Chain A
Amino acid sequence: MPFNKFVLPIEEVLQEHRPRVGGKGLSLARLHSGGLKVPKAICITADAYLSFIDSTGLDKKILLEVHRKQLEEARWEEMWDTALRIRNLFLRTKLPADLLGLLRKEIRAHFHGNPVAVRSSALGEDSAQVSFAGIHESYVNISGADAVLKHIKLVWASLWSDAAILYRKELNLDLEKSAMAVVVQEFVPGECSGVFFGKNPMDGTQAVIEAVYGLNQGLVDGTVEPDRWILRRADGKVLSHNPALHTEMIRSKRGGVRLAKIDGKKARAAPLSRNRIQAVFGLGKKAEDFFGHPQDVEWTFRNRTLYILQSRPITTDRTGQKKDQKSWYLSLRRSFENLQELRSRIEDHTIPGMMEASEAMAAQDLSGMTDKELSVEIRRRKKAYAQWVDVYWRDFIPFAHGFRLFGQVYNDKIHPEDPYEFVELLRPKSMHSLERNGIMEKMAALISRDKDLEKRVRAGRLEDVHHPEFQRLRRSFMEEYANLKIFDEGDSAPFERLRGFLLELAGASLSERKKKVRAVHKQPDPHRFFAQFKKEDEDYARGLLDLARFSYRLRDDDNIYLGKIERQMNRAVLEGRNRLKPRFPSRYAKFPDEQIIKCLQDPEFRPVIKSSKQEREAKPGWRARQLKGQPAGKGLASGAARVISDESHLFEFKKGEILVCDAVDPNMTFVVPLAGAIVERRGGMLIHGAIIAREYGIPCVTGIADATRIIETGDSVTVDGFLGLVIIEHGGK
């Protein structure tokens, strides 16, 4: 007989309901029936979820989204994009009237407008759910039936969160059949909360208690550092206590939670007394006896009553996740507070540190060094560069989550039709790459206005052209661009090649281009966003937007800081390479860096370069006519493809061509003012290329696998930036 009950109070949940109420729902029901103090709760069964997505057609929309690209080939940024779009679909899809009426009635009847927690209760195996705890969403302190219903939809949407898509195999996420149950639980505004871990993974004879003041959201997401007690499993004897600083706690506020300062007596005292430690230990042991395995228990104290909020069996360790790429990705999802701390570190330490390092290297006189000294210096710089790359991954990449977090909050408040509408609010007044391009466009404008100047540019070297304004721009251009690898070949060739490019740019209709950039550069009014917040939360909204803007701008600029250090490393390598020219006139240009170091250290050393047989890609018998990627910049454009497989190809770029590349990096952005559109192998809606394309108002499609191999320079290409399509006519028109 089909099960079609949409709501079950936990008192009525039986073991056989597990496939309908999920692991969390069932475990709460069992704890309740075992006499433990569990807050009052109801389960919104998976049938409600299924009914919602079926009756609204959302099921098919989700399938279209998750099948947009083979998930095996998708980068995590593309998975985030997929999750964002699905989340927005849930937010924008109304509950059918009958389901809405029923759920509203049940919520009112059970909670009478009192605040609740809305928690995910996935249907997978216990072990999987424990291992991947935190992948689905939960919300606390939600009041009023309509707010609860909105959060139920958000919990449903988290079945398709970026993390869930990432761990889809481990979670047995079935793209066709998966469903989600939800537990709506009376909210307990605890004075002190925490977790009990029945068995320490480091030592099986021990148990662990972690506790914080206020609610345990701060502990779970890492915002608040907990006190930690190690206990003997056998009798609960405290073996050690690691106190925290007690500076902050998570408290409830209207419609959610907030981070609050702790001061006075609390700041000095541990959140749990000796008696309360024993009470938590007793509760954890009781849950363990009840389920027959050591448990991972979330608890809270309120007015001397100890509540059990949830209990899960322990598998291997707290998170169960191996330290692999996936768990690294999960660590990118940070809270607002955490991101603010990260911002301070980046602004106060990381960027100044990078600048200092590159300036110190620039000040060194490499030509005055002996060969041995130079070899040591090259090695030192390579090591320093590698360390800064690590810092880049540690600080800059996670910080990009700043504008993602903003996007999620924006969509939760506004429910826009376009889930990327929020990007409009992030547009900075200035971006490094746009400033650089601005100088170049001014040089081109001078040329296009002054026929005599054009003649002189065509005739000679750029630095010999007599024109004070042009020379002023040329110098500031060189200062800006000298930081880029492409202009770092140690000779003036790249700058000379730029001559042709400048003439091409001068020929393009500059007035039209400028108008376009200005038109798209109007920053929309953020007040619509701020107006969604209550008065007391406006500071948070402003702070979040400010953080997101900084994060967005840094996404463009961060490579430049790293590029400065890379340039100094390359300068030393180039000095070494040039010194080898007399010894190896025909081969010195091909030596790998390590061989250069060895040659400098040992005058007798003769490098052997393995002749690498060029791997030639066999041309397939079939040809792609239309490719599907992500619509990362709106618009339509057709033109000849210019495939950039080598940076030197950039100088051949002609007006209106379609830039096809693996990934747009800061070395390439100078051609964007000429490009008709951008096609990029690397996927994502918010990657560098997409950001620049939007600034110039040109279409952009990202995530085209093998773009530079499938498309050839000269192919006639149409880029549909609305639908994320690239249509190719091989061989051109």
Chain B
Amino acid sequence: MTQEIKKIVRNTLKAQNLGVLATLENETPYETLVAFVSSEDLKHIVFSTAVYTRKYANLKNHPQVSFLVDTRSNTEKDFHECIAITALGEAKEAGREEQKKILGPYLKKHPYLEGFVKSPSCRLFRIRVRKYIVVSEFQKVLEFAV
């Protein structure tokens, strides 16, 4: 069962380009859409942000994040076909060495972001995912830890 869910999660994360990153601003949640890539073992999700954004400031104060990826099509089918995956974990700015490792896979998925990501005012973050919550068929909810 776990292998099957993992496969669904892996395929969904591969197929989707954008996810919703929730950070914390003081005590208020704040969401933004970010382009991401996930690791094959599902343990990590990588995204990028400019340094003077609200989310960057939030991440520096509260590394705990939740990250939503879904397959919505904005039609009635969503109520039985849509899959929504929430990843819970901790985001950390990638150091220079780590950047070198994760930049390749990130740009492979989003080659058009090369100029943005290589800009000196842009940073790569890696979420160490602790848990996935997978919602399908309207209200079927499964959880698994990684």
- Determine whether the beta carbon of B120 is less than 8 Å from that of A61: no
- Is B121 a contact partner of A720 (Cβ separation < 8 A)? yes
Task: Please indicate the chain B residues that have their CB under 8 angstroms from the CB of A57 in the complex.
Answer: 111-112
Question: Which residue of the partner chain A has the closest CB to B111?
Answer: A57
CB distance from A199 to the nearest CB of B (A): 47
Min C-beta distance of A729 to chain B, whole Å? 10
Number of residues from A at the complex interface, CB < 8 A: 17
Q: How far is B136's CA from A28's CA once the two chains are assembled, in angstroms?
A: 58
- Chain B residues with Cβ under 8 A from A720's Cβ? 50-52, 121
Residues on the B chain within 8 Å of A60, using CB: 111-112
Q: Given that A626-B53, A636-B52 are contacting pairs, would A723 and B122 also be in contact in the complex, using a CB cutoff of 8 Å?
A: yes
Are A723 and B121 within 8 A (Cβ)?
yes
Q: Are A56 and B121 in contact (CB under 8 A)?
A: no
Q: Is the CB of A64 within 8 A of B112?
A: yes
Residues of chain A with a CB closer than 8 A to B121's CB:
636, 720, 722-723, 725
Q: Please give the distance in Å from A123's CB to the nearest CB on chain B.
A: 24
**Whole-angstrom CA separation of A727 from B112 in the bound complex:** 23
Q: Is the CB of B116 within 8 A of A61?
A: no
Question: What A residues does B50 contact at CB under 8 A?
Answer: 720, 723, 725
CB distance from A646 to the nearest CB of B (A): 29
A-chain residues with CB within 8 Å of residue B51 when the two chains form the complex: 636, 720
Q: Which of B41-79 contact A (CB under 8 A)?
A: 50-54
Number of residues on chain B facing chain A (CB within 8 A): 14
* Given A636-B121, A723-B121, A723-B122, A718:B112 Cβ within 8 A: no
State the CA gap A625–B30 with chains docked (Å).
14
Interface of B (DSSP majority class): mixed
- The A-B contact count (CB < 8 A) is 39
Separation of A85 and B50 alpha carbons in the complex (Å): 21
Which A residues lie within 8 Å of B120 (CB)?
A: 634, 636, 722
Q: When A722-B119, A722-B120 are in contact, do A727 and B111 touch as well, CB less than 8 Å?
A: no
Q: Which residues of B contact A519 (CB under 8 A)?
A: none
Whether B52 lies near A56 (C-beta < 8 A) is no
What is the CA–CA distance of A422 and B116 in the complex, to the nearest angstrom? 21
User: Within the complex, what minimum Cβ distance (angstroms) separates A562 from chain B?
Assistant: 37
Contact A63 B112 (CB under 8 A): yes
Q: Which of B15-57 contact A (CB under 8 A)?
A: 50-54
A56 neighbours in B (Cβ, 8 Å) = 111
Given A723-B121, A723-B122: A718 and B111 within 8 A (CB)? Answer: no
| Bound CA span A727–B114, Å | 22
Give the chain B neighbours of A723 by CB distance below 8 A: 50, 116, 119, 121-122
- Please give, as numbers and ranges, the residues of chain A lying within 8 Å of B115 by CB-CB distance: 61, 64
25 residue pairs of the A-B complex, CB under 8 angstroms, read A57-B112, A60-B111, A60-B112, A61-B111, A61-B114, A61-B115, A625-B54, A626-B53, A634-B120, A636-B121, A638-B52, A718-B52, A720-B52, A720-B121, A722-B119, A722-B120, A722-B121, A722-B122, A723-B50, A723-B116, A723-B121, A725-B52, A725-B121, A727-B52, A727-B53
Closest 4 CB pairs of A and B: A57-B111, A60-B112, A722-B119, A61-B112
Binding site for A on B (CB under 8 A): 50-54, 111-112, 114-116, 119-122
